[in-house]
Amino acid sequence: MARETTFLDDDDDDDDNRDNSDNFGNDQGDNDDLPLNRGDFDPNSREIDERLRPQSLSDVIGQSKVVERVRVMLDATKKRNDTLGHILFDGPPGIGKTTLATVIPRELGVDFQIAAGPSLDAPKDLLPYLTNAGHGSVLFIDEIHRLRPAVEEFLYPAMEDFRIDIALGEGLNARTINMQLKPFTVIGATTRAGMLTAPMRDRFVYREHLDFYEPDDLVEIVKRNAVKLKTSLTEEAAGEVARRSQGTPRKANNILLRTRDFATLRDPNGQITTAIAHHAMEMLEIDSLGLERQDRRYLETVVSVFQGGPAGLSAIAHSMSIPTDTLEDDIEPFLLRSGLIQRTPRGRIVTDRGYEHLGLDPGLSPFI
């Protein structure tokens, strides 16, 4: 698979090298084969990400505790003229992991490379990244929980001692040569911290969890991005977009862009008025809690096919024809956080609140 190297000041710094392998055997990294993936109504999320991504730490809104700690790491590193310790960011999709990972090398003024975990098939695929890594530079590894074991093991000494062990020959002639690397920083990102092996996790000096955003922070993000997009919106419309974006900046950006389309067509000044924002939400089928069609379909499937649960993840995935990864990464986190579903040892359950949200009587299910 293609290797992607990006250096600072190179505009083309997208992290689009994702392998969308799933539990249905689709291991081709081919988006087209996948049923409705994240951002259900917007296939251009990646492009939008790049346009609206904050460029410096001061542009990063919300996550104040994390930002504060990152600021301390950066200032201390700069003051000591040192190499930054390895950092792991975990959290749901679209929450700012790549954003922070790209802002850090900019703040430090160091080179930056991007690799996608699933695209590294063998240690040799990682080798060029490691040998290219300049003194103090950052290597960002996205979806680090999906590194193959052999690649992960190859990375251990590189992270710990800035050394790689290359095996040559076989049998009696086998020998290992060591190669010294320049001190560098790995920034890992994962939507599944729990899937990371313990030795991998332990190699990160700093570990930061990014959680869903508060509505006020999302309002701020929406307003700032409206300015970047040269569009205007009312205070109430900004609140509406923020409220329906599942605590996730990427979703807020997507909704803002879609709402802007409606404003372009309906408002003489192209302004996103409150009425236009409401109309857009209806057209996009985003409900009062911010659930999209696919989220509601999840709830409806568990209720109608599995009598409200408990239902196993893969059974739900098969019923919906959606990869389990997509369910776990993109759909379930917000449903869980909103208390609409529960995860139990026996499977997923739609809660009373989930039933009520669908306009159903919880008493109808024999299992709740």
Ligand X SMILES: Nc1ncnc2c1ncn2[C@@H]1O[C@H](COP(=O)(O)OP(=O)(O)OP(=O)(O)O)[C@@H](O)[C@H]1O
Tell me the binding residues for Mg(2+).
98
Distance (Å, rounded) from C-alpha 320 to C-alpha 40?
Answer: 14
Query: If binding is defined by CB under 6 A, does position 53 make contact with ligand X?
Result: yes
CB-based contact 332:341 (threshold 8 Å)? yes
Give yes or no: 175 in active site: no
Rounded to 5, what percent of the chain is helix, strand, coil?
50, 15, 40
Segment contacting ligand X (CB under 6 A): 155-163, 246-254, 285-293, 296-304?
Answer: 246-254
Write b or e for each residue in 96-133: b if 16 or more Cβ atoms lie within 10 A of its Cβ, otherwise e.
Answer: bbbbbbbbbbbbbebbbbbbbbbbbeebebbbebbebb
Segment contacting ligand X (CB under 6 A): 45-53, 144-152, 171-179, 344-352?
Answer: 45-53
Q: Residue 267: exposed, middle, or buried by beta-carbon count in 10 A (0-12, 13-18, 19+)?
A: middle
Write b or e for each residue in 222-248: b if 16 or more Cβ atoms lie within 10 A of its Cβ, otherwise e.
Answer: bbebbeebebbbeeebbbbbbbbbbbb
Query: If binding is defined by CB under 6 A, does position 341 make contact with ligand X?
Result: no
Query: If binding is defined by CB under 6 A, does position 119 make contact with ligand X?
Result: no
Q: Which is nearer to Mg ion, 61 or 303 (CB)?
A: 61
From the list 139, 142, 181, 178, the residue with the least C-alpha distance to 17 is: 142
* Interaction mask 205-244, ligand X, x per CB under 6 A: ----------------x-----------------------
Q: Which is nearer to Mg ion, 98 or 245 (CB)?
A: 98
Distance (Å, rounded) from C-alpha 168 to C-alpha 165?
Answer: 10
Q: Which is nearer to Mg ion, 98 or 231 (CB)?
A: 98
Q: Which does 49 bind (CB under 5 to 8 A by kind): Mg ion, ligand X, none?
A: ligand X
* Interaction mask 131-160, ligand X, x per CB under 6 A: ------------------------------
Catalytic choice (250, 251, 260, 296): 250
Q: Which is nearer to ligand X, 192 or 279 (CB)?
A: 192
Give yes or no: 142 in active site: yes
Catalytic choice (97, 146, 243, 244): 97
Distance (Å, rounded) from C-alpha 89 to C-alpha 81?
Answer: 23
Query: Residue with structure tokens 């994702």?
Result: 18
Query: If binding is defined by CB under 6 A, does position 250 make contact with ligand X?
Result: yes
CB-based contact 41:284 (threshold 8 Å)? yes
Q: Which is nearer to ligand X, 63 or 294 (CB)?
A: 63
- Give the CB-nearest residue to ligand X: 96
Catalytic choice (15, 22, 49, 142): 142
Q: Which is nearer to ligand X, 78 or 228 (CB)?
A: 228
Query: If binding is defined by CB under 6 A, does position 312 make contact with ligand X?
Result: no
Catalytic choice (6, 77, 83, 98): 98
Give yes or no: 250 in active site: yes
Tell the smallest beta-carbon distance from residue 60 to ligand X (Å): 4
Cis peptide before 310 (omega within 30 of 0): yes
- Please give the full DSSP string across 282-328, using - where no structure is assigned: HHHT--TT---HHHHHHHHHHHHHHTT--B-HHHHHHHHT--HHHII
Residue 331: DSSP 8-state: I
- Where in 179-198 is the site for ligand X (CB under 6 A)? 189, 191
Query: If binding is defined by CB under 6 A, does position 105 make contact with ligand X?
Result: no
Write b or e for each residue in 194-205: b if 16 or more Cβ atoms lie within 10 A of its Cβ, otherwise e.
Answer: eebeeebbebbe
Question: Torsions phi, psi of 115, nearest 5?
Answer: -130, 145
* Interaction mask 72-111, Mg ion, x per CB under 5 A: -------------------------xx-------------
Which spans of this chain sit near ligand X (rule: CB under 6 A)? 49, 52-54, 60-63, 93-99, 189, 191, 221, 249-250, 253
Query: Which residues are annotated as catalytic?
Result: 97-98, 142, 191, 250
Residues that bind Mg ion (CB under 5 A): 97-98
